[in-house]
Homo-oligomer: A and B are copies of this chain.
Amino acid sequence: MSRPKGFSREGVLRKAIGVFWKKGYADTSLQDIERATGVNKSGLYAEFRGKDDLFTEGLKFYLEQADTDALLSAQPLGLDNVERFLSLGLRCAYGSPGCLLVNSLREVAVLPPAVETLIRENRRKLRSALARNLEAALPSCDAKELADQVLTFFSGLTIEQNLATDERETRRKIASFMRLLRGQQGAAVDS
């Protein structure tokens, strides 16, 4: 019978995400994770292969929690889903601003290769899901091109959250961007 490990994998991942979010990947040590989780190194190694694995599993867990698949496939498809996706940038589920994945873009050069793959795969899926919503709302536009605009705007919005922008300002920016998108409807119909 294996000894009960005395901590939950999910609890460790949540706390590890908080540390990685605050300090970034490169600047986080296993000691930082030990301190934040209260689990010592041998406990962490019983569950994870090390810092790389903790970061990779943390990012996977974070993406599962965000569950953008469900959000972007809610019926009816359309601009409301796009707006709900952008509004994810407002949430600070882990007490930190913005989006852990966008923050991590800064560090792509030093991230474990598995993480870069995860980031690229996530962006590819988001782009397709956004394009389906945009196509439903703006059938005469280039939905993939607009999906790229939404993703880039989301990246900008969330990286700017590090400047502790107030929530109203972020909401104003999202509303203004949605007006630009909705304007496409008229523009496409006119042309």
Q: Which of B24, B159, B163 contacts A120 (CB 8 A)?
A: B163
Which residues of A come within 8 Å of B, CB atoms? Answer: 22-24, 26-27, 102-103, 105-110, 116, 119-120, 123, 142, 145-146, 148-149, 151-157, 159-160, 162-164, 172-173, 176-177, 180-181, 183-184, 186-187, 190
A72–B107 Cα distance when bound, in Å, is 30
Asked if B156 and A152 sit within 8 Å, CB to CB, the answer is: yes
Residues of chain B within 8 A (CB-CB) of A27 are 24, 26-27, 110
- Name the prevailing secondary structure of the A interface residues: helix
Given A149-B177, A162-B105, A24–B26 Cβ distance below 8 Å? yes
A159–B152 Cα distance when bound, in Å, is 9
| Copies held by the complex | 2
Asked if B180 and A184 sit within 8 Å, CB to CB, the answer is: yes
CB distance from A156 to the nearest CB of B (A): 3
Centre residue among A105, A116, A151 by max chain B CB count within 10 A:
A105
Asked if A23 and B22 sit within 8 Å, CB to CB, the answer is: no
Residues of chain B within 8 A (CB-CB) of A106 are 24, 103, 106-107, 159, 162
Residues of chain B within 8 A (CB-CB) of A107 are 24, 106, 162
